[in-house]
Amino acid sequence: MASPCCFHLPAGTSPDVIDAMEGEVRRIEAKYSRYRDDSVLSDINQRAGQKVGLDNETLWLINYACACFEQSDGLFDISSGVLRQAWDFRAGQLPSEATLARLLPRIGLSRIEISEAHLTMPPDMELDLGGIGKEYAVDAAAAIAREAGINRGVVDLGGDLCVLGPHADGSPWQLGVRHPRDTENAIASLPVYQGGMASSGDYERFFEKDGKRYCHLLNPESGFPVDYWASVTVVAPSCLLAGTLSTIAMLKEEAGEEWLRAQQVSALLIRPDLSLLSLTDR
């Protein structure tokens, strides 16, 4: 994984458990990486247009992605990765209308078909599980720790977190929320006893042009980056849910606030002017 990963586990935790957790993260990374030709994801993409048999785990992840697609009214779409061809964040160039017009019709998760553990997607479609794979790996590593009887500690994969349980004295973990304009530092901290916390923000990949910031979170209908929030951090029962909720809130832009309130989760929303909006669960 490209981001720093660490496990905060109680002293005396068996190295075997830590190895198993690390192995699980690597396994998931290798299985769903779009950079590896031998990954399950690459295989699915190479066989677009055909009926592809899915193993349980992949079937489950794609089903989950479909639920995200529906719950976000199509904003959270694992087939929107083709837009990366239009947005080169290193070059810092805006895409041409023609490029976007060519790519946008290729997006739309409603066009895939899943039945009896088989997936059929249109030949021009490409899936990218980057938006959920890392969060899922966090939960999977945490599950191994719990299985081994560890009920304290934090699994942290580059800011996507899962808290196994509170500190020994019963107090919650104070988890730092990354400062969107100074990403080495925290802008605030949130108390978490157990469960997941994840952030989504405009600081991961972006460029600025004529004073405007263009980030990697793209609206699959317009093909353009969202810009209403600088970042959204959500605390939820699992890291996967936290990650999904934060991304959907980012993509929903202004409506994200009301939508997050309806989910009754704790969240910290940061506006581009760095003012904070804190939502607490009831």
Partner 1 sequence: MKKTMNSLAALAAAAAPLAGQAEPVPTEQAVSYRFSQYQEADIPESRTFSDETARYSIDIHQLGYRRPLAGQWYLNSELQYETMSGASPMQTYKNSEGQSAVLMSGASIDERRIDLKLAPTRYFEDSVDGTLGGLLAISTENDYDSVAVGAEGSLNLMNKHTTLMGSLTLSYDVLAPTDEFLSEARRRADGRVKRSVSLYEGVSQVINKNLALQVGAGFTRLSGYLSDPYKLDDHRPGERSQYLIDARARHYFAVGGGAALHLDYRFYTDSWGIYSNTLETRWAQALNAGRFSFKLIPSLRYYRQTQASFYRLTPAEAGEYSSSDYRLSSYGAFNVGLAASVGYGRWQISGDIQQYMSSEDMMLLQTPDDEAPALVDYSIVSLGIEYKTL
Instruction: Using CB under 8 A, list all residues that contact partner 1.
Output: 10, 14, 16-17, 20, 53, 55-57, 59-60, 63-64, 66-68, 70-73, 117, 143-144, 147-152, 165, 168, 236-238, 240-241, 244-245, 248, 259, 262-265
Instruction: Give the shortest CB-136-to-partner 1 separation in angstroms.
Output: 9
CB closer to partner 1, 99 vs 120:
120
Q: Compute the C-alpha angle 259/264/265, nearest 5°.
A: 95
CB closer to partner 1, 190 vs 239:
239
- Among 104, 146, 114, 109, CA closest to 129: 109
Instruction: Give the shortest CB-237-to-partner 1 separation in angstroms.
Output: 7
Q: Which amino acid is at 274?
A: L
Beta-strand pair 173-179/160-165: unpaired
- Among 2, 3, 8, 271, CA closest to 162: 8
Q: What is the C-alpha to C-alpha distance for residues 84 and 104, in angstroms, rounded to an integer?
A: 11
CB closer to partner 1, 86 vs 129:
129
CB closer to partner 1, 66 vs 188:
66
For the chain, what's the residue count?
282
Q: What is the C-alpha to C-alpha distance for residues 163 and 242, in angstroms, rounded to an integer?
A: 12
Asked if 209 contacts 92 with a C-beta cutoff of 8 angstroms, the reply is: yes
Residue 222 CB neighbour total at 10 angstroms:
10
CB closer to partner 1, 103 vs 135:
135
DSSP 8-state class, residue 94: P
CB closer to partner 1, 141 vs 187:
141
Q: What is the C-alpha to C-alpha distance for residues 280 and 139, in angstroms, rounded to an integer?
A: 23
- For residue 114 the two structure tokens come to 């899943």
Instruction: Give the shortest CB-197-to-partner 1 separation in angstroms.
Output: 14
Instruction: Give the shortest CB-259-to-partner 1 separation in angstroms.
Output: 7
Instruction: Give the shortest CB-90-to-partner 1 separation in angstroms.
Output: 33
Instruction: Give the shortest CB-208-to-partner 1 separation in angstroms.
Output: 32
